Amino acid sequence: MSTTADPYPGSAQLPTLQAQRLCLRWLRQSDRDALYTVFSDPAVMRYWSSPALTSMDAAQALLEQIWQLYADRQLYQWGIALEHSDQIIGTCTLYRLEAQHRRAEIGFALGSAWQGQGYAGEAVRRLIAHAVDDLNLARLEADVDPRNAPSLRLLEKLGFVREGLLRARYRVAGEIQDSVLLGWLKGAP
């Protein structure tokens, strides 16, 4: 039985979440090329649970999937946009939202050109604040390939704690990948 409640009742799109240099916003048709730039980059997709996009058609299909999963209230994926230009540089996601248990999983991807500038941390911090303050969640979870040291460092800096290792969790492009599970608790030190 699903315990998911609609966090955005009656809304045709996600709310915009303002941050200092960024905003997390609804992905539009005009963002397709930017999504392709992010999700076709082998360096970005190296530790992702699916292979890199190989065509604009695949980027269009991804965009349509994001919209459909939002309409079905299964996935809440924001574009990470630079405040000054509105350019999409990545995405930030809440999924497997369980209102009864006050928990959700998070994910994020940032284009290679924008990594190392604090944007991922800013976006994830803003998403955590929204999850806690607006959606009343008390636990967030993430799964990360253990070889993805930058993402692990970022999540741990934001208060996530390693809670386990799932061996051989994903099979992507012929490679078997493990997954580190991390949890974040509201009010935890």
| pLDDT band for position 2 (cuts 50, 70, 90) | very low
149 by DSSP, 3-state: which? helix
Mean predicted lDDT score pLDDT of the chain: 94
Closest to 90 measured CA to CA, from 106, 74, 109, 73: 109
Full DSSP string of 47-113: TSSSPPP-SHHHHHHHHHHHHHHHHTTSEEEEEEEETTT--EEEEEEEEEEETTTTEEEEEEEE-GG
User: CA 186: distance to chain centroid?
Assistant: 19
Q: What is the pLDDT of residues 44-60, one digit of tens each?
A: 999 888 899 999 999 99
Quote the percentage of the chain above a pLDDT of 70: 97
Q: Is it the case that residue 88 has pLDDT exceeding 70?
A: yes
Looking at residue 50, its pLDDT comes to 87
Looking at residue 146, its pLDDT comes to 95
Looking at residue 48, its pLDDT comes to 87
Q: Please classify residue 76 by burial: count the beta carbons closer than 10 Å to its beta carbon, then call 0-12 exposed, 13-18 middle and 19+ buried.
A: buried
> What's the rounded mean pLDDT across residues 111-124?
97
| pLDDT band for position 3 (cuts 50, 70, 90) | low
Q: What is the pLDDT of residues 76-86, one digit of tens each?
A: 999 999 999 99
Degrees, nearest 5: CA angle 187-22-71: 80
Looking at residue 172, its pLDDT comes to 82
| Domains of the chain by start residue, with CATH | 17-137 (3.40.630.30)
Q: Which of 3-12, 27-36, 89-98 has the lowest mean pLDDT?
A: 3-12
Q: Give the up-direction half-sphere exposure of residue 131: CA atoms within 13 A in the CB hemisphere.
A: 31
Q: Is it the case that residue 189 has pLDDT exceeding 80?
A: no
Q: Which of 7-11, 82-86, 113-117, 182-186 has the lowest mean pLDDT?
A: 7-11
| Residues 88 and 119 sit within 8 Å (Cβ to Cβ) | no
Q: Is it the case that residue 1 has pLDDT exceeding 50?
A: no
Number of C-beta neighbours around residue 106 at 10 A: 24
Q: Which amino acid is at 114?
A: W
Q: What is the pLDDT of residues 145-161, one digit of tens each?
A: 999 999 999 999 999 99
